[in-house]
Amino acid sequence: MQIKKASVQGFCFGVAITVKKAEEAIASREQVTTLGHVVHNPQMVESLASRGLQNAASVDEVDSGSLFVRAHGLPVDVYDKAQKKGLEIIDATCPMVTKIHVQAQKLKADGYKILVIGDPTHPEVKGTLSHVPGAWCIQKVEDVEKLPRSSRVGVVVQSTWSGVGFTEIVQALASKYYEVRAVNTICTDTHNRQSEALRLAADVEVMVVVGGKTSANTKHLAELSESHGARSYHIEGPDELQADWFAGVKVAGLMSGASTPGWLVDRVEARMEELAASA
Ligand code: SF4
């Protein structure tokens, strides 16, 4: 079986910066706490935890030391609370996420009603919404007809959203509102991986996508690949691979989400080769 690997692999630059900052923080400080996992990757989370990175569900549980802000960013009120508590804030928000906040605030200042396309329960989207109070948030094209009336709508989108979903929603908005100004804030890394998913899906029979089960960008890659003709499996590591997925398969694809380390992709590739050889 031939394995075609996506040309974009390993951490995106935002996750790479976050992991580096987290490693530096735990090496030089007594107590560093993050709210939620630093990356959507169980192996990396375990590694950072074993070196001392603590995890809390809310800033209310953190009374001393440093608060580490992961790539997704945090809602404005959480920063405020942390400052009031006297916590040191180590901010590793991805610059692409900060750019979304800035674009949304600019649109708001220009008089647009803000619409964020994304999952309202996702930490990044919660952070973005906190920067533009009163903004709407939708996930599906069907949601457009339920939106209230307005004349000017300004749109930003979750950094890891699917490009296809973004275009569909913007087209529907354009036929409902007098003026729509949409800024495509899907990050370059996400865009590149999605383009690769489409390109590879056309060439392979089976696609393996490696990444945390809670990773939005990994989930979208697997969905895109499946919808473009490749039987697709979203896994977190080599142990989940099953020999029967590759029975009779001549060409398989392999790609990974933005928070998947390169070494993990190499292990998955090695296991795929073993399974193919023993089939
Ligand atoms: S996926 Fe994009 S927005 Fe998210 S951390 Fe990586 S570069 Fe930043």
pLDDT tens digit sequence for 102-130: 999 999 999 999 999 999 999 999 999 99
Q: Which atom of ligand 1 is nearest to the CA of 217?
A: 1
* Residue in 23, 24, 61, 124 annotated catalytic: 124
Residue 228 has a pLDDT of 94
**Phi, psi dihedrals of residue 2, rounded to the nearest 5°:** -90, 135
Mean pLDDT for the stretch of residues 249-257? 96
Q: Are 160 and 140 in contact (CB under 8 A)?
A: no
66-69 β-sheet, strand order: 53-56, 32-35, 66-69, 88-91
Q: Is the Cβ atom of 124 under 6 angstroms away from ligand 1?
A: no
Q: What percent of the chain has pLDDT over 90?
A: 90
Is 124 annotated in the active site?
A: yes
- 267 vs 142: CA distance, rounded Å: 41
Backbone angles phi, psi at 112, to 5 degrees: -85, 145
Establish whether residue 158 lines the binding site of ligand 1, counting it when its CB lies within 6 angstroms of any ligand atom.
no
Decide: 186 in ligand 1 pocket, CB within 6 A.
Answer: no
Ligand 1 site, residue 258, Cβ cutoff 6 A: yes
If 0-12 CB within 10 Å is exposed, 13-18 middle and 19+ buried, where does residue 47 land?
Answer: middle
- The mean per-residue pLDDT over the stretch 33-46 comes to 89
Confidence at residue 216, expressed as pLDDT on a 0 to 100 scale: 83
Each residue's pLDDT tens digit, 85-96: 999 999 999 999
- pTM of the predicted model, to two decimals? 0.90
Q: Does domain 13-94 have CATH number 1.20.1440.230?
A: no
> Distance between CA 238 and CA 88 in Å, rounded?
38
CB-based contacts of 108, cutoff 8 Å, min separation 6: 114, 132, 135, 154
- Is residue 162 pLDDT above 90, yes or no? no
For the chain, give every domain's residue range.
Answer: 2-10+189-278, 13-94, 96-186
Fold exhibited by the domain 2-10+189-278 = Cobalt-precorrin-4 Transmethylase; domain 1 (3.40.1010)
pLDDT band at 191 (very low <50, low <70, confident <90, very high): very high
Buried (b) or exposed (e) across 111-134, using 16+ Cβ within 10 A? ebbbbbbbbeebbbbbbbbbbbee
Given phi > 0 = left and psi -120 to 50 = alpha, else beta, which region is 37? beta
- 167 band by pLDDT with thresholds 50, 70 and 90: very high
Mean pLDDT computed over 247-265: 94
In tens, the pLDDT along 201-219 reads: 999 999 999 998 988 889 9
Domain 96-186, architecture per CATH = 3-Layer(aba) Sandwich (3.40)
pLDDT for 277: 84
User: What average pLDDT does the segment 28-52 reach?
Assistant: 92
The pLDDT of residue 149: 93
Measured in angstroms, how far is the CA atom of residue 229 from the centroid of ligand 1?
A: 27
Supply the pLDDT for residue 90.
Answer: 97
Residues 238, 42: Cα–Cα separation, whole Å: 13
Same fold across 13-94 and 96-186: no
